[in-house]
A and B are shown apart, each in its own frame.
Chain A
Amino acid sequence: MSVLFIALPVALLIAGAFVGGFIYAVKTGQFDDLDTPPMRMLFDDMEVKKESKQKPAETEEDS
């Protein structure tokens, strides 16, 4: 059991380091926008999807 006296503080220090990392991430703005990054990722490797041609979608009001 006495191993706890070393293991627990070490575990807490590691946890603290991760909390520190999280705070750094928040402060550098990585959590400011949660909606765009999912759309941004991995586009360059995206599977080519063949789209059909005749698809009249709703027109945008345009004069």
Chain B
Amino acid sequence: MMIRRILPPFLRRRALLPRRSLVPVLRQAAPTGPAIQDSFTDTDGVTLPGHVPDLAPAGSSWSNTNLGVINNQVHYLNSATRQLSVIQTGISDCIISVRCCQDANGSASTGSEYRSGIIARYSATNSFWRIAFHPVAGFAIYEVNAGVAVARAATVFTTEYGAFHTVQAELVGESILGKIDGAYPISYDLASFNKTASIHGLMIGYSGSVPAVDDFLVERI
């Protein structure tokens, strides 16, 4: 059930004209090497904080004990929804990619309608960027700023349950470019919020739908 209301009454509003006239340009920064790489190869049941990434800066570790490794992928260890896990990378401008599956056992359920993807430029539990897809409601860039979630760009995207998709986010200054499987480009070029934050991570949907995440990579540019 989606409930929408218009904010505010349309009349009497002062319009803000575009700060920039943007023609979509598909950027592609050149990666110069990994800062974080993790294939989540570990013993089943190890929590993400207890798991050591394949490659990470000294002292960096994953957050969130609700998430852990099963079948060499990130899965829920406890029932929960919309969990995220983040890790200090040391860089704010980078290319992040991760493989996400909405329903790893291939069995659709009504509770599967949650987003999966990338958390970028995280500074607090209610302040970060989210580049994520929903099984039927599209692929979008969200600014979550002091708890206020704002969609900044979106495109039509649907997926079948059980399929893995590679979500990618290219972060350069105030520009964010998102893609799924190298396609469905979306961009937002006024991303001043948290632009120097260097903690990034992943987001995974509802535990009951058995979502999975694999192959997290942060590349320097």
The answer to whether A and B interact is: no
Q: State the B residues within 8 Å of A (CB).
A: none
Q: State the A residues within 8 Å of B (CB).
A: none
